[in-house]
Amino acid sequence: MNRFFDIPSDLQHDWLGLIGLHLREALLPVLGGLLLALPLAQLCVRLRWLYPPVLWVTTVLYAIPSLAFFVVLIDYTGQTELTVMIPLTIYSLVVLVPAIVDGVRSVPQETLAAATAMGFGPVRRYVLVQLPIAVPAIIAGLRVATVSSISLVSVGMLIGNQGALGNLLHDAQIYNRPELAWNSVITSAALAVLADALLVVVRILLTPWMPSGARVEKSKPAGVRPEPAVPALEDAAR
Amino acid sequence: MNVINFVSAFFSESAHWQGYDGIPTRVWEHVQYSLEALALAAVIGLPIGLVTGHYGRGGNVLSLVATAGRALPTFGLLVVTTIVLGFGMLPVMIPLVVLAVPPILVTTYEAVRSVDPSPVDAARGMGMGESGVLLRVELPVALPMIFGGLRSAAIQIVSTATIAAYVSLGGLGRYIVDGLYQHDYEKVVGGATLVAGMALATLAVFWAAAKVTVSPGVRRSN
């Protein structure tokens, strides 16, 4: 068991240090993706014709394997963390844009009309009415983006040890210590599950008017569409 | 501009079109890996998704399994399965299937669950058994969404099957992994282009398959 957490010194981090590095490399891209996706999605909601081409471009970018993406970027950004984070940002954009667009579009017309009647301008209406109602869909998107981002960082190992916990995979092979590979897989899976659970908690805190997850499932009237973004989101887990 | 030069250089090199490392061979290998993984994932995911969706039970367990499956890093899993099982096809298939089962499982479950209950009740009222209801009423109506799940699984498999090359198997990942070690970026970019192209072809195949198999009545109501 001791050897399980005994990280070889060439990684220049202990186990907790690797976890911190991993979270930074995985979560900053999701944050960046969210900051880019919010205005982009708003544009897509405003200009309907823009949505299909945006979806097409992001789908094509999403189809590029992460490893290839990293290698192409090395030419421009070198073997740095940035090289890992740029593709992850783009991947999370692919999940988040449809999630936000679906969420914002799912706001009922009457609700919008009521807000307008109460004297809300377009900006105030967007921030105070549309975004809060879209929160469950946005969080659903963030959950998928976060989990896949955390599990993708490991591939960064292949481009000059930029994979945080993934670097353990390389050391497992060169030092012939399989427990390091197990450590890498188990730790990053645990991080992903924890981050996922944390986002569920955030959703419950942000939407106090909604019944919590389990009850939605049972009290949902038959025939109503499931969570707005489920089909779109499933595109996202590499 | 760099990237475009790389792509044109890669595809115009005639040596890349023949032999065991030629584009046709690698594409065919990639197609084989992908089909095999998708078939395995569908055999696991579809029946479970259909049955749990039909009875509307186990949704929470299902989403738990799906999150767990998604949380496992595919690349790390590959290294672990290779350490445990040695080199070969099986250690590559396991991570790909683990990757592809969650979307199929969750979408199928949601698709069957969200079928309008009135035709289902009507079919029961006419004396149709449970399996009849599932296969002849719920399945055809849920089909477009089920295809959506299979499509995302397929795209993920196609772009992830590149990792097979890391454990010395073939497929389009060979260009990416070899190119990386040889610092031959032309090769890497060419391989990536081929993978992206294949993912787009996958989209087209699913679009056509949905056109052919989804009943016109269902299509109209969507």
Interval B131-165: pLDDT, tens: 889 988 899 989 988 998 899 899 889 988 988 88
Task: State the Cα–Cα distance between residues A210 and B167, nearest whole angstrom.
Answer: 47
Pick the residue from chain B with its C-alpha nearest to A164. B76
- Cα–Cα distance, B69 to B63 (Å, whole number): 10
pLDDT reading at B122 higher than 60: yes
The pLDDT value given to residue A236: 38
Neighbours of A113 (CB within 10 A): 10
Q: Out of B3, B113, B159, whose CB is closest to A65?
A: B159
Q: Average pLDDT, whole number, for chain A?
A: 83
Q: What percent of chain B has pLDDT over 90?
A: 34
Nearest CA in chain B to A228: B110
Whether A150 sits inside 8 A of B70 (CB atoms) is no
Q: In a 3-state reduction of DSSP, which class is residue B33?
A: helix
Nearest C-alpha of chain A: how many angstroms from B128?
20
Contacts of A102 (CB under 8 A, 6+ apart): A137, A228, A229, A232
**Chain B residues whose beta carbon lies within 8 Å of the beta carbon of residue A190:** 71
Largest pairwise CA distance in chain B: 67
CA B134 remoteness from chain centre? 24
Q: Closest approach of chain B CAs to the CA of A60, in angstroms?
A: 7
What pLDDT, on a 0 to 100 scale, did the predictor assign at position A212? 59
Angle between helices B74-85 and A178-206 (to 10 degrees): 150
Looking at chain A, which residue has its C-alpha nearest residue B154? A235
Tens digit of pLDDT for each residue in B45-94? 999 999 999 998 888 888 888 888 888 889 899 999 998 898 888 999 99
Gyration radius of chain B's alpha carbons: 21
| Residue range B195-205: mean pLDDT, rounded | 88
Of B73, B114, B200, the CB nearest to A63: B200
Of B113, B149, B177, the CB nearest to A234: B149
**Test the B interface: residue of A185, A187, A193, A227 with most B CBs within 10 Å:** A185
What per-residue confidence (pLDDT) applies to A234?
42
Question: Average pLDDT for residues A45-73, to the nearest whole number?
Answer: 84
Token digits of residue B103: 């979307």
Q: Which residues contact B81 (CB under 8 A, 6 or more apart)?
A: B90, B91, B92, B94, B95
Share of chain A above pLDDT 90, in %: 36
Q: What is the pLDDT of residue A33?
A: 95
Q: How far is CA A24 from the centre of its chain?
A: 13
Test A238 with B159 for CB contact under 8 angstroms: yes
pTM confidence score: 0.84
Q: How far apart are CA A182 and CA A202, in angstroms?
A: 30
Q: Which amino acid is at A27?
A: L
Which residue pairs, CB below 8 angstroms and at least 24 apart, start in B78-82? Answer: B78/B163, B78/B166, B78/B167, B79/A169, B79/A172, B79/A173, B79/A181, B79/A184, B79/A185, B80/A178, B80/A181, B80/A182, B80/A185, B82/B167
- How far does B13 lie from chain A, in Å, by closest CA? 19
**Residue whose C-alpha is closest to residue B190's, from B16, B35, B21:** B16
Q: Whole-angstrom Cα distance, residue A228 to residue A230?
A: 6
d(CA A159, CA A157): 6
Inter-chain CB proximity B84 and A75 less than 8 Å: no
Q: Which single residue is written with the structure tokens 């590095």? A: A21
Q: For A234, which residue in chain B has the nearest alpha carbon?
A: B103
| Torsions phi, psi for A174 (to 5 deg) | -75, -30
In angstroms, the separation between the Cα of residue A22 and the nearest Cα of chain B is 12
CA distance A128 to chain B (A): 30
How many other β-carbons are positioned within 10 Å of the β-carbon of residue A1? 6
CB of A36 within 8 A of CB of A125? no
**Residue A226 pLDDT class (50, 70, 90 cuts):** very low
Interatomic CA distance for residues B127 and A201, integer angstroms: 45
Question: Closest residue of A to B194, CA-based?
Answer: A64
Contact B72 A196 (CB under 8 A): no
* Closest partner CB to B67 (pick from A152, A157, A193): A193
Residues of A in contact with B117 (CB under 8 A): 222-223
- If you search the block for the tokens 């996958």, which residue do you land on? B202
A217, A177, A163: which is closest to B110 by C-alpha? A217
Of B83, B173, B196, the CB nearest to A63: B196
- Helices of type H across chain A: 15-46, 51-63, 66-77, 81-105, 109-117, 122-125, 131-152, 167-174, 178-206, 213-219, 230-233
pLDDT given at position A89: 94
If you ran DSSP here, which 8-state letter would residue B88 be given? Answer: S
Query: What is the least distance, in Å, from the CA of B76 to any CA of chain A?
Result: 5
Residue of A nearest to B67 (CA): A193
State the average pLDDT over residues A103-109.
Answer: 88
Residue type at B59 in one-letter notation: G
pLDDT of residue A194 exceeding 60: yes
ipTM of the complex as predicted: 0.80
What is the identity of the amino acid at B121? Answer: D
